[in-house]
């Protein structure tokens, strides 16, 4: 077992060193983007926000969508049902909005997720004057210049879409919420300057002509995932997806352990079904890290009990942990620079994004195992079975 540990530890250290190099590359890209002029492209934009139910800070999140500067846009809030608990809040925000805001009732889904159905229904009703589509989530709180920075790069017609990512800030001091924030943090560094980026549904902008020519609405017809399906279409058409770290979006969250598992299991299951090329390497990397730490801990305890020197095993085990913490620190530096509005809160909870992320791979492994044994998931009160990327079954409970 000791020989196996040495082998795994050396492999893990090599991977950790590579990931630190990747994190430094990512940080350099973040800093270059923060000093890049977004340009002057300001077409007519439709901002599409699917909503369901009451969530922490909902009204403040939606008000933020009405306050964008330097952009000609109209706002569309989409609900599946007129009896949704959020409807009164949404109508109040729309009524007081300084930009034109509409509320659309999409109706129940059939063969796709509720969110996808909401987006399809809204887009099918859009007037032809809208040149760019921007997708946002109701749990995000972007800044006033966010929309301009998202849309302006599309002035380059070679770009397929621009995208960004959320950054969770715990709204409660319980462990489940802290774990959710730590779980989400590494996703931010999966997006980069030259990598194979993916669209995030809470912050993606695309020219309407590209959206229509690529056949996204058809792809969505039987899909549960709006963003991964959009990504698949763009990749098939050799369209680039540009990551904009200057548009990172704050999301204030609170959850319990049931909510934590529901969210994390759903994200990994969707990844397995829609992006197996991402799921496989990620599963292997997290599994290797966890096995290395477990084996190292077992060997250390064995040496302590038998009063043998354990310094070399402690060093190798802690080195793997240290490399993970360094990656978390580099990520945190980039995020605090990209999100000045949340800098004090993020820095004040830095232990979540540095210390907790060291242990988060164990939660990821549980998520990967779950995605191997079931194709079913829950999402905002609805249950789905992901038969394939082209087939979704709504499960009746």
Q: What would you measure as the largest C-alpha separation in the chain, in angstroms?
A: 77
Give the model confidence (pLDDT) of 208-255 as tens digits: 999 999 999 999 999 999 999 999 999 999 999 999 999 999 999 999
Q: Do 75 and 101 form a contact (C-beta atoms < 8 A)? A: yes
Q: Which residues pair with 79 in a beta bridge?
A: 105
pLDDT for the residue numbered 309: 80
Q: How far apart are alpha carbons 39 and 16 in whole angstroms?
A: 37
Give the model confidence (pLDDT) of 110-163 as tens digits: 999 999 999 999 999 999 999 999 999 999 999 999 999 999 999 999 999 999
Give the model confidence (pLDDT) of 67-79 as tens digits: 999 889 999 999 9
Give the model confidence (pLDDT) of 180-213 as tens digits: 999 999 999 999 998 889 999 999 999 999 999 9
Q: Do 53 and 94 form a contact (C-beta atoms < 8 A)? A: no
pLDDT for the residue numbered 397: 53
Q: Do 41 and 151 form a contact (C-beta atoms < 8 A)? A: yes
Give the model confidence (pLDDT) of 13-66 as tens digits: 999 999 999 999 999 999 999 999 988 898 999 999 999 999 989 999 999 999
Q: Who contacts 346 (Cβ-Cβ below 8 Å, separation ≥6)? A: 167, 169, 332, 335, 336, 339, 353
Confidence of residue 2 (pLDDT cuts 50, 70, 90): confident
Q: How does strand 44-50 pair with strand 132-136? A: parallel
Predicted model pTM: 0.95
Using CB atoms within 10 Å of the CB of residue 195, give its burial: 0 to 12 exposed, 13 to 18 middle, 19+ buried.
middle
Percent residues over pLDDT 90 in the chain: 90
CA angle 366, 370, 375 (to 5 degrees): 160
């Amino acid at each position: 077992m000791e020989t196996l540990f040495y082998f795994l530890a050396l492999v893990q250290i090599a991977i950790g060193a590579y990931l630190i190099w990747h994190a430094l590359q990512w940080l350099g890209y973040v800093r270059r983007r923060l000093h890049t002029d977004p340009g002057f492209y300001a077409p007519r934009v439709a901002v599409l926000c699917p909503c369901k139910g009451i969530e922490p800070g909902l009204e403040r999140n939606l008000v933020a969508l009405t306050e964008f500067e330097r952009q000609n846009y109209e706002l569309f809030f989409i609900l599946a049902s007129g009896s949704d608990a959020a409807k009164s809040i949404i109508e109040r925000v729309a009524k007081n909005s300084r930009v034109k805001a509409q509320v659309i009732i999409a109706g129940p889904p059939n063969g796709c997720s509720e969110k996808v159905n909401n987006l399809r229904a809204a887009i099918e009703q859009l007037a032809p004057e809208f040149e760019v589509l921007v997708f946002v989530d109701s749990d995000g709180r972007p800044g006033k210049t966010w929309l301009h920075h998202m849309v302006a790069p599309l002035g380059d017609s070679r770009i397929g879409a621009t995208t960004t990512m959320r950054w969770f800030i715990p709204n409660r001091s319980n462990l489940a919420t802290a774990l959710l924030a730590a779980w989400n943090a590494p996703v931010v560094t999966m997006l980069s300057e030259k990598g194979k980026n993916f669209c995030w549904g809470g912050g993606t902008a695309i020219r309407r002509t590209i959206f229509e020519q690529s056949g996204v609405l058809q792809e969505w017809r039987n899909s549960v995932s709006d963003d991964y399906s959009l990504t698949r279409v763009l990749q098939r058409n050799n369209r680039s997806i540009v990551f904009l770290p200057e548009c990172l979006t704050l999301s204030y969250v609170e959850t319990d352990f049931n909510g934590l598992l529901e969210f994390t299991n759903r994200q990994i299951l969707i990844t397995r079904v829609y992006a197996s090329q991402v799921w496989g390497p990620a599963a292997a990397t997290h599994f290797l890290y966890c096995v290395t730490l477990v084996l190292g801990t077992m060997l250390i305890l064995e040496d302590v009990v038998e009063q043998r020197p354990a310094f070399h095993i402690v060093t190798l085990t802690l080195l793997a942990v240290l490399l993970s913490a360094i990656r978390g620190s580099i990520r945190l530096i980039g995020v605090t620079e990209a999100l000045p509005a949340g800098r004090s809160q993020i820095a004040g909870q830095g232990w979540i994004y540095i210390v907790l992320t060291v242990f988060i791979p164990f939660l990821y492994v549980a998520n990967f195992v779950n995605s191997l044994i079931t194709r079913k998931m829950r999402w905002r009160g609805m249950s789905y079975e992901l038969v394939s990327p082209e087939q979704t079954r709504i499960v009746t409970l």
